[in-house]
């Protein structure tokens, strides 16, 4: 199977579908935006050339990091970002990065039902479903309330005693 769901592997770029992104509201910064994005993800959309791992982030962040090891620096930074935001990642809870950057730092986690069919760079849904289930990670009480009210199908878990 050639179509492996990696956000930006150098060969393939996969976009978050609008049905997931739209209910999450306005974002100020997207540090992992592909070139020629067909829809707006945030006021400031940083491409690979701008290097979102070091470029200043401001406000609420939308994070769909590169999948694999390239995403770890983004998740590290997101776990320390004080203005909150939401990250979309595979729900691979057995990985070290979940135990370092999600479980101890997230306010809540929405485990999405089923798997996502990410979109190609032109916005058309891909032929195949993602290879793993996904989760939306909230890094603030405000973002947890957005997840709670989003209408997205899944199971919302509050972390560290957080409440919306």
User: Which tens digits make up the pLDDT trace of 60-92?
Assistant: 999 999 888 899 999 999 999 999 999 999 889
* Res 123: pLDDT: 72
Work out whether the CA dihedral 100, 90, 79, 139 comes out positive or negative.
negative
Work out whether the CA dihedral 29, 33, 38, 44 comes out positive or negative.
positive
DSSP H or E stretch at residue 89: strand 85-90
Strand partners for 89 = 135
Residue 48's φ and ψ, nearest 5 degrees, are -55, -35
The Cα–Cα gap between 110 and 95 comes to 17
Predicted TM-score (pTM) of the model is: 0.87
Strand partners for 44 = 29
Beta strand 108-112 with 134-138 is antiparallel
For residue 9, is pLDDT > 80?
Answer: no
């Amino acid at each position: 199977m050639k179509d492996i769901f990696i956000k930006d592997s150098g060969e393939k770029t996969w976009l978050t579908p609008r049905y997931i992104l739209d209910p999450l509201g306005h974002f100020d910064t997207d540090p992992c935006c592909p070139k020629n994005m067909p829809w707006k993800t945030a006021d400031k959309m940083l491409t690979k050339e701008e290097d979102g791992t070091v470029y200043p982030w401001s406000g609420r962040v939308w994070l769909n990091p590169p999948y694999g090891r390239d995403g770890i620096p983004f998740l590290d930074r997101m776990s320390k970002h004080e203005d909150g935001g939401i990250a979309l990642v595979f729900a691979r809870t057995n990985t070290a990065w979940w135990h370092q950057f999600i479980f101890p730092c997230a306010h809540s986690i929405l485990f999405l039902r089923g798997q996502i069919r990410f979109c190609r760079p032109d916005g058309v849904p891909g032929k195949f479903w993602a290879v793993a289930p996904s989760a939306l990670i909230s890094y603030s009480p405000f973002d947890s309330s957005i997840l709670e009210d989003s209408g997205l199908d899944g199971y919302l878990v509050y972390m560290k005693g957080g409440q919306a």
